[in-house]
Amino acid sequence: MAFIKIMIVDDHQLFRGGIVSLLSKDEDIDVIGEASSAKELFHALKSKQPHVVLIDISLGETDGLETILKANDSHPNIRFIVLTMHAEGQYVVKAVRNGAYGYLLKNADEKELIEAIHNVFEGKKHFNEEISQLMIGNMAMEGEPHKNLSKREREVLKLVSNGKTTKEIADQLFVSTRTVETHRVNMMKKLKVQNTAELIKKAAHLKLI
């Protein structure tokens, strides 16, 4: 008795067929529907309630990741696994942010696919080693949320307050001197001050350094 209802959203019928036949081997999994686009998916969701949806990122005109975000609003119980060719951290991160429970590449083994479906059905998130690496590699370089001053601006400010020259700052942050100057000018604008001395004073007052 199959208890995991899944749907597959992919714009390639051949691939959908392949996945369906692959999953049919597993007794716990029941493919209750297919869709080639977000529109078809939402149409199908009116009559069927899958537990897990396998979804591709590129769906022709529509974007799978946006679809996850939308579906999370209207069908919060459905859990999405991204099944895609895109092996870049950015997509993984975006998928996670949009609420995907798993992220698999299309050349994943059937074993892993089935494992992932099970995990996700049980409420666990499934990201294998490779995908986690992609995600972490991407996260490592993520900027902090944008406050009054950006992370980079505060870095520059710190260096300025340490008495570093523009050239030194540029070398340290590997940006051009012009960029350092622009940062400095932008910070003065943001903090409404007229010169560097005032900038440092005000930044200290605001506990930015």
Partner 1 sequence: MFRHVRIKNKLALVMTALSCIVIGIFSTLFYLQFEIALKERVLLQLSSVKKLKVVQIENVINSRVEAIKHLLAQSDSTYNQQFFNSVVYLKSPGSVHINSYELTLPDTLNQGNIFIKDLSPENDEGFATLAFMAYNSGQYLVCIDTLTEIQSILLERTGLGQSGESYLVGEDYTMRSTSRFFPDKNPTTILARTSGAVRALRGETGEGIILDYRGVSVFSAFEKIAINGLEWVILSEIDYQEALFPLKSLRRNFYIMLVIMLAFVLLASYQLARLLVKPILRMEQYLNTMSRGVILEPQKDVDRNDEIGGMFRALDKLTTALQQTIEFAGRIGEGNFSANYQLLSEEDTLGAALLQMKQKLRDYQKNEERLLKENQQSIINGEEQERSRLSKEIHDGLGPLLTSLRLSIQAIPLEETHKKQLLKTLDDTITETRRMANNLMPSVLEDFGAGEAIKNLVIQLDQSSPLDIRYNQDTLEESKIPQKVNIVLYRIAQEALNNAIRHAQATEIRLSLTEFDEHVSLFISDNGSGFDQSTVLPGNGLRNMRERARLVDGSLVIYSDANGTSIEVEIPF
Q: How far is the CB of 57 from partner 1 (least distance, A)?
A: 8
Report the C-alpha gap between 58 and 132 in whole angstroms: 21
Amino acid at 169: I
CB 185 within 8 A of CB 191: no
Q: Where are the alpha helices (DSSP H) in 122-205?
A: 129-140, 151-161, 166-173, 177-190, 196-205
Shortest distance (Å) from residue 129 CB to partner 1: 15
Q: How far apart are the first and last CA of the chain?
A: 62
Choice between 129 and 174, CB closer to partner 1: 174
Provide the token pair at 207.
């506990």
Min dist. Cβ of residue 47 to partner 1 (A): 27
Least Å distance, CB 168 to partner 1, is 14
**CB nearer to partner 1: pick between 48 and 151:** 151
Chain residues in the site for partner 1 (CB under 8 A): 10-12, 14-15, 17-19, 21-22, 58, 60, 85-91, 94, 106-107, 109-110, 137-138, 141, 143, 145-146, 150-152, 170, 173-176, 178-179, 182-183, 186
Pick the closer one to partner 1 by CB: 72 or 150.
150
Nearer to partner 1, 72 or 179 (CB): 179
∠ CA 147-208-158, nearest 5°, is 110
3 state SS of 54? strand
